[in-house]
Structure 1
Amino acid sequence: MATMAKEITVLASLRAALGLAGVQDSPEALSYFANDVYRGGGLPLCVVRPATVEALQEAVRICAAAGVAMVPRGGGASYTDGYLRAEGGHVLIDTGALDTIEIDEFNAIVTCGAGVTWAALKAALDEKGLRTPFWGPFSGIAATVGGSMSQNTLSHGSTAHGISAQSVLSMDVVLASGEVLTTSSSKAMRFYGPDLTGLFTGDCGIFGIKARVSLPLLPVLPRFECLSFAFESFADYHAAQRKAAMARLDDSHFGLDLALSQGQIGRQDGMGARLKIAADVLRKAPNKLKGLAQLVKMALAGEDAMRAGAYMCHYIVEGFDQEEAAHKARLLRRILADHGREIANSIPTFVHSVPFAPLFNILGPGGERWVPIHGVFSHDQAVPFDTAFKAMIAARKAEMDRLGVWLGTMFSPVGGTGFLYEIALYWPDARTTYHVTTLGDEYLAAQPDFAANEDARALADALKQDMIALMQEYGAGHFQLGRAYPYQPRLSAPQKGLLRAIKAELDPKGLMNPGALGF
């Protein structure tokens, strides 16, 4: 009875502070926000969507006074239980309405609300010929700047400039007290004394809720070259990727195995999508005749570009002028030619033209459920892990085939020292509220549908846990820790003590995303 009275009081206070439109507690809304890409958790008490930093502060104060847990959510594309809480009863804070963008061209800084998507930020900066160093993951049509800072991520711009955490100057974070903490004492530099900004990257919101993020600006390089290479073995592919990442000639690159290239990544839905790709390729080509020539090459290559080798890697090279872009491409070709062969560049040309594709890939190419599992390895562990992983899958293949479970792999550099190995796991199963709401009835009506499949789901979950355990054996680190990847078991006693002391100082009642990162 006391719990119910407290919940009623909290709801009333939140509605008074944020207005009726800022608080949702309908069964449909709670069901949607209780699911991520992979699975569901406990139902929140309600979902609040503050439109200003001041409204966010007031919502936090109300929850803190009542002792109610708070869980932040960005674009919702998490698959590691980052905003799911098994116990439920929390207030889920949807940061999507914190969407201001302030561009300071003279000082080369952009400050945006935590809920700004990378696609929206890119559109605003494109108008001024500017960009951030890292400028978003492939899911940037939904992924937010604040969410990427909380989870850590990589993709566009990562070869040249590193992961999301390396492209932030400062953040405004609302602490459990409702106070705003600005993480840097200097507008012009991040590293003015100890790096407080870094403390809040990859924290999954356990130290506070991100409200604003400041990032440095660079000019957009107007000329580009796209390259693709095929490799017959993982060892050859990894050797080439390691050298390419160290050289940092390209802005970004990513690799795919044959299964993923032909399936998820290679999928293009209908003639309308193909025509849009063609229009984007032509629009972004520095020279229209060259753009037409590229379209002809892509048409002639057809699907061959997606099945040209056991492993394929795709590079986007940029330059201030065509001479610089071409020179970088020539140097990169020399590095790659020792290990693979050049193939049609359809895939990176498409990615350059449409960097943030719709979220169709949250289901498999045949309508299957999907979850990625990744690890970041030191280079000396990448090939040994690949060998051990393939042996593990070979031992489970008969069971996987029986239940319709399959997988593919993709890869990315993490600076010059790290190698991201990501496994995309697929299984036939019913969709959740998340898939239905995100993709919509019109799109789903044209996709295969599956009944609930507890056996396939159980196997997929077991494989996921076994893959994570195997990655840990080979010393892998992870992004997007959430509640899925082990974190505290890898820490020494002094490391644990320091982090627990910081947590106790910033969130003494333990109300900020409890359970994430093991806290």
Structure 2
Amino acid sequence: MTSSNKQTDLIEKLESLLGEQGLVTGAENLQYYANDVYRSGGQPLAVAKPISTEQVQDAVRLCADAGVAMVPRGGGASYTDGYLYPDGGHVLFDLGALDDIRIDAANLLVTVGAGASWAKLKEALDAQKLRTPFWGPFSGLAATVGGSMSQNTVSHGSAAHGVSAHSALSMDVVLANGELISTSAAGSTRNYGPDLTGLFTGDCGAFGLKTAITLPLIRTLDHCEPLSFAFDDFSSYHAAVRIAQAERLDDSHFGLDLALSQGQIGRQEGFAARLKIAAEVMRKAPRKLQGLAQLMRMAVAGEDPMRSGAYMCHFIVEGFDPADAAAKARRLRHLLAGVGREIANSIPTFVRAMPFAPLTNILGPGGERWVPVHGILNHDTVVAFNTAFHALVKDQQSEMDRLGVWLGTMFSPAGSAGFLYEIALYWPDHRSDYHRQTLGEEHLATIPDFLENAEAREYANELKEAIIALFQNFGAAHFQIGRAYPYLTRLDPRALSLVRSVKQELDPKGLMNPGALGL
């Protein structure tokens, strides 16, 4: 049978298994799936949308028999070629229908379908005053639990509880031959013997398709003290963050430079956004007078907190009661008093009220294309990296100005030890099908559009690669490795051999997201 005939036969079998609604075909329909936030890749042969773990297994077996590559796609907000297969002709697995949430409050466990968004999980758990330790990235309206476990991510809960992988207890994974495995012998712990769950965190789907994840539960804390500080230089900012990470007083914190504070964050400060934030602040305030007082502080602050320093850091401190939250906030103020200066806390209040923002930030504040580049650094290398990075930017500034390329930086904890340094690159360029379908014409009509700009796009990519190389010079690690960041070259020979052996054991034909992790 020819390759074309095999593909036709596979599509017919998949349609028979999944039904017309469960399989996307046709070049026009598939073009959207050939793009991520950053760029385009090879077009899939089809997109499979199974509605059960059993359908996932059966679809995987069909693809394996046909020798067709299988690539998982979560919420779609990847920008590291995580689900872009350059060769095309693959079957893309969209597991969004696997979104069941089973709460076991007695045992403080929740089992979540891989396709459930973090926003859906939070809504289900809020009703029982429960949460997971890590409870999602800022993109949690779209980002799925399975995607975050495959890619690793930070944000809500990371200061106190680490990254997404740290909150996983066990996973159900469909392997490349269609077999289903569970990674833990006991659902309440991932440490019953060797940590098999850890093997599948951050694998970018190269080892299998996750269908369900079990996470621990903790009680939510209703009382919150948002705090913001400004710093005139990066070394002071980093010193403050290091102090905060060692103390673990806050549940979450994040930092922004002046460019991002006034750009991406500032863009959220329109009148409609303010009304929505105000409603959320009042709804979530344990005491309505406390909520009203917070709104008054935000109104007085206006936009000044976004222009208060070269760097700003925003903390969300939670407590069992108002006194507990206030005591932690008082301790944090004391520790940071000689390093930065406290400013109005409207930005962390915004994030507390609306933790999962719409995906409007996948384009720049002026409609520019956008891609972030990040590294997780040891604290003793952070300031030196920042100096080297700004030297790189200074060397490139004239070309950046000529092509309309600009950047900003943001920062986040990765547990108590890691410092995540993220650089957002922007350049003028035409939107892709991904941007048009994700954001919709109504929103896009409110921001500028650009003509195709191949020169600026290529330069932005070259700058991105130069930044990645600089991160590597400082020994940085990376989340969301996909096909964008080096991984195998960082392993010692024995570790490399082990990783390749695992891939060979789980996926001997090399059909599961080929090229991810460099495999």
* TM-score scaled by length of structure 1: 0.99
Q: Residue 241 of structure 2 corresponds to which residue in structure 1?
A: 241
Does structure 1 residue 351 correspond to structure 2 residue 351? yes
Q: Residue 129 of structure 2 corresponds to which residue in structure 1?
A: 129
Q: Deviations over 1:474-509 (max 9, x none)?
A: 110000000000001111110111011111111110
Q: Residue 463 of structure 2 corresponds to which residue in structure 1?
A: 463
In 1, are the aligned partners of 2:169 and 2:216 still within 8 Å (CA)? yes
Q: Which amino acid aligns with 1:168?
A: A
Q: Residue 142 of structure 1 corresponds to which residue in structure 2?
A: 142
Q: 1:269 offset after TM fit, Å?
A: 6.1
Q: Which amino acid aligns with 1:356?
A: F
Q: Residue 211 of structure 1 corresponds to which residue in structure 2?
A: 211
| Equivalent residues, number | 519
What is the rounded CA distance, in whole Å, between the counterparts of 2:148 and 2:494 in structure 1?
27
Q: Residue 277 of structure 2 corresponds to which residue in structure 1?
A: 277
Q: Deviations over 1:124-162 (max 9, x none)?
A: 000110000000000000000000000000100000000
Q: Residue 453 of structure 2 corresponds to which residue in structure 1?
A: 453
What is the rounded CA distance, in whole Å, between the counterparts of 2:474 and 2:29 in structure 1?
41
Q: Which amino acid aligns with 1:375?
A: G
Alignment of 1:59-458 (within 5 A): 59-268=59-268, 270-458=270-458
In 1, are the aligned partners of 2:74 and 2:115 still within 8 Å (CA)? yes
- Backbone CA RMSD of aligned residues: 0.8
Q: Residue 11 of structure 1 corresponds to which residue in structure 2?
A: 11
Moved more, 475-484 or 263-272: 263-272
Aligned-partner SS, 2:107: coil
Alignment of 1:16-31 (within 5 A): 16-31=16-31
What is the rounded CA distance, in whole Å, between the counterparts of 1:187 and 1:6 in structure 2?
41
Q: 1:29 offset after TM fit, Å?
A: 2.5
Q: 1:455 offset after TM fit, Å?
A: 1.2
What is the rounded CA distance, in whole Å, between the counterparts of 1:329 and 1:438 in structure 2?
38
Q: Residue 495 of structure 2 corresponds to which residue in structure 1?
A: 495
What is the rounded CA distance, in whole Å, between the counterparts of 1:365 and 1:293 in structure 2?
30
In 1, are the aligned partners of 2:429 and 2:456 still within 8 Å (CA)? yes
What is the rounded CA distance, in whole Å, between the counterparts of 1:256 and 1:285 in structure 2?
26
Moved more, 281-290 or 446-455: 281-290
Q: 1:271 offset after TM fit, Å?
A: 2.2
Change in Cα spacing, 1:269 to 1:339, as seen in structure 2 (3 Å) is closer
| Structure 2 gap segments, 5+ residues each | none
Q: 1:26 offset after TM fit, Å?
A: 2.5
Aligned-partner SS, 2:411: strand
Aligned-partner SS, 1:267: helix
Change in Cα spacing, 1:73 to 1:283, as seen in structure 2 (3 Å) is same
What is the rounded CA distance, in whole Å, between the counterparts of 1:240 and 1:29 in structure 2?
49
Q: Deviations over 1:57-113 (max 9, x none)?
A: 110000001110000000000000000011000000001111100000001100010
In 2, are the aligned partners of 1:246 and 1:415 still within 8 Å (CA)? no
Q: Residue 2 of structure 1 corresponds to which residue in structure 2?
A: 2
What is the rounded CA distance, in whole Å, between the counterparts of 1:277 and 1:222 in structure 2?
17
What is the rounded CA distance, in whole Å, between the counterparts of 2:324 and 2:269 in structure 1?
35
What is the rounded CA distance, in whole Å, between the counterparts of 2:270 and 2:237 in structure 1?
32
Does structure 1 residue 42 correspond to structure 2 residue 42? yes
Moved more, 409-418 or 114-123: 409-418
Q: Which amino acid aligns with 2:399?
A: E
What is the rounded CA distance, in whole Å, between the counterparts of 1:266 and 1:290 in structure 2?
25
| Same amino acid, percent of matched pairs | 66
Moved more, 179-188 or 27-36: 27-36
What is the rounded CA distance, in whole Å, between the counterparts of 1:516 and 1:166 in structure 2?
22
What is the rounded CA distance, in whole Å, between the counterparts of 1:64 and 1:500 in structure 2?
20
Aligned-partner SS, 2:268: coil
In 2, are the aligned partners of 1:61 and 1:177 still within 8 Å (CA)? yes
In 2, are the aligned partners of 1:237 and 1:340 still within 8 Å (CA)? yes
Aligned-partner SS, 1:226: strand
What is the rounded CA distance, in whole Å, between the counterparts of 1:363 and 1:28 in structure 2?
23
What is the rounded CA distance, in whole Å, between the counterparts of 1:432 and 1:352 in structure 2?
32
Q: 1:270 offset after TM fit, Å?
A: 3.7
Aligned-partner SS, 2:500: helix
What is the rounded CA distance, in whole Å, between the counterparts of 1:263 and 1:493 in structure 2?
44
Q: Which amino acid aligns with 1:490?
A: R
* TM-score scaled by length of structure 2: 0.99
Q: Deviations over 1:147-197 (max 9, x none)?
A: 000000010000000000000110000001111110000122110000000
What is the rounded CA distance, in whole Å, between the counterparts of 1:152 and 1:490 in structure 2?
18
Q: 1:247 offset after TM fit, Å?
A: 0.5
Q: Deviations over 1:33-66 (max 9, x none)?
A: 1100000000000000111101101100000011
In 1, are the aligned partners of 2:162 and 2:416 still within 8 Å (CA)? no
Q: Deviations over 1:406-439 (max 9, x none)?
A: 0000001111211100000000000000000000
Aligned-partner SS, 1:266: helix
